Structure 1
Amino acid sequence: MIRLSEINIYPVKSLAGISLQQGQLDEFGLAGDRRWMVVKPNGHFITQRTRAQMALIQPSLDDNGLRLQHPELGECCVPPATVDSKRIEVKVWDDLVEAWHIDHEVDNWLSRAVGEACHLVWFPSDALRQCDLSYAQQGDRVGFADGFPLLLISAASLDDLNQRLAEPVPMKRFRPNLVVSGCDAFAEDTWREIQIGDSGFRVVKPCSRCVITTVDPETGKRTGAEPLMTLSRYRKEGSKVMFGQNLVHDDRGLLTIGDSLEVIF
């Protein structure tokens, strides 16, 4: 039987993630996932692609909101965005979104942690960022994730990769929202519609991987060409290396570790 074995959210795009026992689905994916983003003063997003050290900033969520922890700078408490927050236009890939700027003190702390001047912004609930209509449906929304609400990888797919590597890598390198166990390696490539617990999902597109997979999340440093080099030998489609599947959710249910996964087709 295929079961859900990990649930992860990444509150701030490209910072460290948080593992959960339960995750609530909302209009953008898992609640709290990539609702914040780090941007340059011109509004363009910043990620580990250019600032690998972002992996060292650990977010946490509690009743008081978002907190950021850095091994050298300590803790930063992030005030909530409000309707009075300044709205600024930000760019995620080719998409322009009107986001809410958080706070200049947070910007100062984050600029030191990231290594360049930056702002922290919030994706408001009334913002509309349409998923790519080549794969999704009209009305499918996404927050600050790269393109789709959720990313799923099977544990067996990582096991297959690690058998080919001189040094195995953890699942954290690939930043999935959902990890499933109990299926064959890359079985997820063949799925088109699945149900996890009481929630339905469309499997819309393989995930193309980038240099973020070469960043060690424990050190915030690049480790070389792996695992991209090995993946490129057997997971290449055209010029892109694929690992994991992007999902769009059709329900807003509660996901719990141990939930069964049913392949509809």
Structure 2
Amino acid sequence: MGASGSSAPARLGLPAQPRPGWLGVAALGLAAVALGAVAWRGARSWRRWRRRRLQQVGTVAQLWIYPIKSCKGVPVSAAECTAMGLRIGNVRDRFWLVIKEDGHMVTARQEPRLVLVSIANENDHLILSAPGMDQLILPSKLPSSNILHDCRLFGLDVKGRDCGNEAAQWFTTFLKTEAFRLVQFETNMKGRPSRKILPPFVQNYQVAYPDCSPILILSEASLADLNTRLEKKVTMDYFRPNIIVTGCDAFEEDTWDELLIGSVEMKKVLSCPRCIMTTVDPDTGVIDRKEPLETLKSYRLCDPSEKQIYKSSPLFGVYYSVEKIGSLRVGDPVYRML
């Protein structure tokens, strides 16, 4: 059998007919024109397709970074969005963690008064304040000579660099229950893999000390809806989202799969299952163990088909992974990518 590129006459055993040179050139020219036209039409169609895909569903009302897990958040007007969450300078979301001396994490579930620790960010330092305590100033970058701890979060191991004896004593004195230490996650450390935290079908990413994902989104309308059902109104501080969206209907965020905010692209991981943490009053540090969790359970349980994922936890807010890093700011449109 002849080569696949040979002419039809040659394959039939006939002498090949010479082709005028100008015909080949003309054919190439016509092909180039045709390809150019296809490319031009393709570019126009791609631009139209991109425009069709973006549907504004709201606007960023607030941005919050929670440097220390379970402590108060820091409102920011703009932030970078990395694969592991929001950051401003060296201050990153949930990159600090209070631990027991054996390395187990401590959150407001165990120590509700952690929510009373407020944090300011000045000159790449964290300034911690709490009732009855002198301020504690922490550098956002620790000496490499500080020891590393093996920490335990929800049954998974993760590293943390010790923030020093002064910070340890500060939290121990404030909480008054046992000895505690403060650790910091560093970007060269290995995060907790999503596939070990959540069902195996979720996208693959890593987190430092957040519960499940780098970004949590909640709408103002969803909180307003909840408050119509509560005797004692609650604030957004009970739920600790990173991005608060305005201009949408209550629980509309449940339907958003892929989002574009600023230059950041995000993909829905799961709805956020709520726990007893939501019953800690952010103003008093007292855990109620009932509301608003009980009210959420009365109308925000998952579909029965998803019970193996969420069990009996009510859903409020949505977890996202970061598919394309970038920056975002308060006032940015929130686009759904259809």
Q: TM-score, with normalisation over the residues of structure 2?
A: 0.75
Alpha-carbon distance, 1:235 to partner = 0.7
Alpha-carbon distance, 1:24 to partner = 1.1
> What CA distance in whole angstroms lies between the structure 1 residues aligned with 2:188 and 2:95?
12
Larger radius of gyration: 2
Q: What does residue range 110-125 of structure 1 map to in structure 2 within 5 Å?
A: 110-115=171-176, 116-125=178-187
Alpha-carbon distance, 1:130 to partner = 3.9
Alpha-carbon distance, 1:191 to partner = 1.2
Structure with greater helix share of residues? 2
Helix, strand or coil for the counterpart of 1:230? helix
The superposition leaves residues 96-118 of structure 1 with CA deviations (integer Å, 9 ceiling, x where unpaired) of 01211110111011111123211
1:108 to 131, 153, 169: 169
2:77 to 6, 12, 21: 21
The superposition leaves residues 163-189 of structure 1 with CA deviations (integer Å, 9 ceiling, x where unpaired) of 111121001100000110111111111
The answer for the alignment partner of 1:246 in structure 2 is: 319
1:186 to 251, 258, 280: 251
Give, as a single letter, the amino acid of the residue that structure 1 aligns with 2:68: V
Helix, strand or coil for the counterpart of 1:172? helix
Q: How large is the Cα RMSD of the aligned pairs?
A: 1.4
The answer for the alignment partner of 1:259 in structure 2 is: 332
> What CA distance in whole angstroms lies between the structure 2 residues aligned with 1:137 and 1:228?
28
**Aligned residues of 1:151 and 1:178 also touching (Cα < 8 A):** yes
**Aligned residues of 2:194 and 2:206 also touching (Cα < 8 A):** no
Q: What does residue range 42-53 of structure 1 map to in structure 2 within 5 Å?
A: 42-53=102-113
The answer for the alignment partner of 1:35 in structure 2 is: 95
Q: Which moved more, 1:41-50 or 1:188-197?
A: 188-197
The superposition leaves residues 144-167 of structure 1 with CA deviations (integer Å, 9 ceiling, x where unpaired) of 111110100011111111111112
Q: What does residue range 220-235 of structure 1 map to in structure 2 within 5 Å?
A: 220-223=285-288, 225-235=290-300
**Aligned residues of 1:10 and 1:16 also touching (Cα < 8 A):** yes
**Aligned residues of 1:57 and 1:113 also touching (Cα < 8 A):** no
| Structure 2 unmatched runs, 5+ | 1-55, 303-310
Helix, strand or coil for the counterpart of 2:207? coil
Change (3 A) 1:59 1:95: same
Give, as a single letter, the amino acid of the residue that structure 2 aligns with 1:34: R
Alpha-carbon distance, 1:41 to partner = 0.3
Give, as a single letter, the amino acid of the residue that structure 2 aligns with 1:38: V
Q: Which moved more, 1:129-138 or 1:219-228?
A: 129-138
The answer for the alignment partner of 2:65 in structure 1 is: 9
Helix, strand or coil for the counterpart of 1:127? coil
1:73 to 133, 136, 146: 133
Q: Which moved more, 1:123-132 or 1:163-172?
A: 123-132
Give, as a single letter, the amino acid of the residue that structure 2 aligns with 1:251: K
> What percent identity do the matched residue pairs reach?
33
Greater relative contact order: 1 or 2 (C-alpha under 8 angstroms, separation 6 or more)?
A: 1
> What CA distance in whole angstroms lies between the structure 2 residues aligned with 1:86 and 1:256?
36
Helix, strand or coil for the counterpart of 2:253? helix
Give, as a single letter, the amino acid of the residue that structure 2 aligns with 1:82: P
Structure with greater strand share of residues? 1
Q: What does residue range 154-165 of structure 1 map to in structure 2 within 5 Å?
A: 154-165=219-230
**Aligned residues of 1:95 and 1:129 also touching (Cα < 8 A):** no
> What CA distance in whole angstroms lies between the structure 2 residues aligned with 1:114 and 1:264?
45
The answer for the alignment partner of 2:306 in structure 1 is: none
> What CA distance in whole angstroms lies between the structure 2 residues aligned with 1:97 and 1:131?
10
Helix, strand or coil for the counterpart of 1:108? helix
Question: Aligned residue pairs: how many?
Answer: 264
| Structure 1 unmatched runs, 5+ | none
Change (3 A) 1:153 1:135: farther
**Aligned residues of 2:83 and 2:323 also touching (Cα < 8 A):** no
The answer for the alignment partner of 1:60 in structure 2 is: 120
Consecutive aligned runs of 4 or more in structure 1 exceeding 3 Å deviation: none
**Aligned residues of 1:136 and 1:248 also touching (Cα < 8 A):** no
Helix, strand or coil for the counterpart of 1:240? coil
**Aligned residues of 1:39 and 1:45 also touching (Cα < 8 A):** yes
> What CA distance in whole angstroms lies between the structure 2 residues aligned with 1:183 and 1:64?
35
